[in-house]
Structure 1
């Protein structure tokens, strides 16, 4: 893997303007924005946006505006937005300069979801009366929970708390990587398929059958985790489809929803095929192999001998073969999609750090899908051969190694966790904003590793200010893990008004700011500990998801540009008389 310096992005670096397909998309953005003024057309999802407030004079405000040198390098479209804000009399929040300007919060101004998607060029929501960010409720992009509050419920086991909201989790069990090894648990039963069974073969049968049975338990446990992810993604998909249908009925632009639907489809397929189906088919196969191998020990009985041959032979290996064929088709689809992201990024944003990050993300996905798809189909073929031929297990050796590798690669290089469809304050109408968010996430991950003791100090102007620290925590969607660590401390739990460990705790940013000042240092220390422990993985996941969003946006924009060119060329052709 390339070094951190070559693969991470600095926000200080200039970004080239997108080339032709994205220029066409940017040209449409003005039309999309004006039409999106009526974007809150669904009566059941729209309400009045919050009023515009100023944060320029707040000494505790966090960094909101890029340094002057960086602003001059940004896309001219962003400078045009700044001019519009000043013409409308809206002041941009003051940015407190830091020595490391490249790690500043990657926003010219914070644009909450409701205004980001509806009216990016005309509305700017600054800080609330407390100096923190607040998102207006009018938004047709589905959102898990409000970004300024966290609801925690008592865990079913133990005295701890768990978040009430759901999310997509990268929580694949390590043991699932050994399911292909469980597939070979019937080795002794098929090789020594005779009676009387040698003693050493009986030992191998018992070990192989037991291992297959244990792996089937892990497959069941991981399938439950995968199913929770599938339910979460299906709920978001239903809401996205409803929002898109509502917009389409009003003839409003739907590109942002198309991007989110495309990403959601791949997430859903990966969780459903690569994980849930893997656990179900391989788990059932492991159970059949376990039973068949145990029966082979008592092969003196003809009926038991026949049942053992069937279960540890064609019947036991059939689910594995079926999954291998299905999974290889899905892997090929994802591999092609990842290549499409690379091709679109090369054409739209050549020579940028965002291109390098998209390529790294897409190559990691291609490595996983290429090896996983090849290994599963070979595993299916090999498992069917092992029913009658011992040399079929030779084919399974590289399959087992590939399965362990793919499990590791997904957990560490390709998978990610996320809560909402769109990170707080991000606009997916803007290539520049997506690129900046992607580069910031990569740079932030590296910065946290460099400054482990006090990682937040690199991101805020005043690390001793609770308001500054909480604003950063809220902006970067770290409020939930921060609150989980906060309630683990019995003293702080009493301070926030929950001394008796209630069944449910709701924590808001405003309530934390209203606590006595003598408790602020302890809360700030909890925030530092949170970023130090999970910050690196958190921004790593944000980088992967941002790369998916940007790559998908560029690919869809390229497809739309091709369709427009095709229609234009067809309309210009002379009609036959």
Structure 2
């Protein structure tokens, strides 16, 4: 893996000698002329590239095609001109090595069988349901777990007073505990319902991508084409979908339903003088109310064990493929964080389900729930801060899923970028572009690293900049494209650059942290799939030799 560099000093020296890629973009006030001129420049650059592709040696054509390499000629016409990428980075960052040679320009997105990963050059914002803010149109996988969901196990213990003082007349202090426990369980069921809506949006987003990938996989198999890239993506998206569907949506549905039953049963226990009410209370706050929690604990334990084993498989495969590299260390860190979460979460939900069934008749069952409650709070925090991530595309921009060097480079860059933003808080973009006073360079960085959506959200909050872009009022929909920003008068450029700096300063660290986690997931899966394919070939080889000897 010659493309992976672990020597930060040597890499920094390489970036010092790198020359910036400067491509003139018209900045006059006439936007139509600017678009036409930039389109002509892009077409002129594409012609030499096409000629170079015709002289590629035959031995390279025999290689496995990279992701998005095959393009339907009938749909290959570019839809929009994409801003050129920033050509150099600060010497404080590690060089992007040989695999980063593709970071020269952002080409227009080719249309192919797999959802594209080239960052868009425009963003559509729609009016938020509440307030005057705008939010991006479209969906993505979001790490937006409610912190309150961590208290669902505590809501499971809301029937403590009803089961311990299961007698009539009910003591006054027991009535107070019953009212508090039932109310808390009811409130937690509301948070479970709200979070289940968020989880279901993620499930629909992932399910849509999974269907597209399966269709592409079937088409590849029918044509006897390589499918490793699709196998990697399908493996990752399967785990993402299962985690959102089982570990989150399922938790909210089962635990939320259990909280509702416990809430009702505990309230009924207050009026236990009536025999019918007394029986209903015992059922709802006992076996019936705790059954959904026990069922979820069993299902979740199996899923947690599966994810734990997959994470260990990533470590084993990467250790053999790229020993002693920084990329391996990042994969290990990612996998260990996932294993910590799954081991504690799976154990806690299983024990919590069994303990909740015991509490129906034995008070000491609530003692068992104490570590379960603490574990639930820990897992909620750990997922939000160490394991979960937000992503839009299946593949980070400009990468090939068939190229381990490219994925390793993206993983290492995201890790160092997250640290550099924390170090250089006031002007974080200065560490990434050669000329931080150039609007073109700053916008290229924003686009390349998929920060255009949060940048645009902050941009429209500035009334002066919003009016300069032609939006005098507060319309229901706002479309912001990079060419419109480049066409702004020169005296507006510092304000736009400042918005970009503020965006990276506020969310840049978390943004690159998410990209690091996802890149580690992709690279670990790539090595695991490659290892599985190698074992499959080894098993098939003796069979072919036996058939040949006959």
TM-score band (shorter)?
Answer: 0.7 to 0.9
Matches within 5 A, 1:327-406: 327-406=300-379
Aligned residues: CA RMSD: 2.5
CA pair 233-32 structure 1, distance change in 2 beyond 3 A: farther
User: How much has 1:108 moved relative to structure 2?
Assistant: 2.8
- Asked if structure 2 preserves the Cα contact closer than 8 Å seen for 1:48 and 1:136, the reply is no
CA pair 51-535 structure 1, distance change in 2 beyond 3 A: closer
- Asked if structure 1 preserves the Cα contact closer than 8 Å seen for 2:348 and 2:372, the reply is yes
Per-residue CA deviation, residues 433-472 of structure 1 (Å, 9 max, x unaligned), is: 1001000000000100000000000000000000000001
CA pair 134-387 structure 1, distance change in 2 beyond 3 A: same
Helix, strand or coil: the match of 1:162? strand
2:91 to 92, 99, 102: 99
CA–CA distance in 2 between the matches of 1:227 and 1:97? 39
Matching residue of 1:321: 294
Per-residue CA deviation, residues 269-311 of structure 1 (Å, 9 max, x unaligned), is: 0000010000000000000000000000000000000000000
Matching residue of 1:310: 283
2:49 maps to 1:31: no
CA pair 450-418 structure 1, distance change in 2 beyond 3 A: same
- Asked if structure 2 preserves the Cα contact closer than 8 Å seen for 1:36 and 1:253, the reply is no
CA–CA distance in 2 between the matches of 1:445 and 1:164? 26
CA–CA distance in 2 between the matches of 1:431 and 1:163? 32
CA–CA distance in 2 between the matches of 1:291 and 1:507? 50
User: How much has 1:41 moved relative to structure 2?
Assistant: 5.0
2:478 to 496, 505, 508: 505
CA–CA distance in 1 between the matches of 2:400 and 2:498? 32
Matching residue of 1:427: 400
Helix, strand or coil: the match of 2:399? coil
2:274 maps to 1:301: yes
The range that moved more, 504-513 or 451-460, is 504-513
2:204 maps to 1:231: yes
Q: Structure 2: where are the runs of 5+ without partners? A: 12-58
CA–CA distance in 2 between the matches of 1:428 and 1:512? 32
CA–CA distance in 2 between the matches of 1:210 and 1:53? 54
TM-score normalised over the length of structure 1: 0.82
2:488 maps to 1:459: no
User: How much has 1:568 moved relative to structure 2?
Assistant: 1.2
Matching residue of 1:264: 237
Q: Structure 1: where are the runs of 5+ without partners? A: 1-7, 15-27, 56-60, 64-95, 112-125, 128-132
CA pair 190-262 structure 1, distance change in 2 beyond 3 A: same
- Asked if structure 2 preserves the Cα contact closer than 8 Å seen for 1:144 and 1:165, the reply is no
CA–CA distance in 1 between the matches of 2:228 and 2:122? 30
- Asked if structure 1 preserves the Cα contact closer than 8 Å seen for 2:297 and 2:350, the reply is yes
- Asked if structure 2 preserves the Cα contact closer than 8 Å seen for 1:328 and 1:376, the reply is yes
TM-score normalised over the length of structure 2: 0.86
Matching residue of 1:552: 525
CA pair 481-105 structure 1, distance change in 2 beyond 3 A: farther
Would you say how many aligned residue pairs link Structure 1 and Structure 2?
Answer: 499
2:413 to 436, 440, 444: 440
Matching residue of 2:148: 175
CA–CA distance in 2 between the matches of 1:268 and 1:225? 13
Helix, strand or coil: the match of 1:152? strand
Per-residue CA deviation, residues 478-507 of structure 1 (Å, 9 max, x unaligned), is: 011100100011111111111111111111
CA pair 251-303 structure 1, distance change in 2 beyond 3 A: same
CA pair 222-9 structure 1, distance change in 2 beyond 3 A: farther
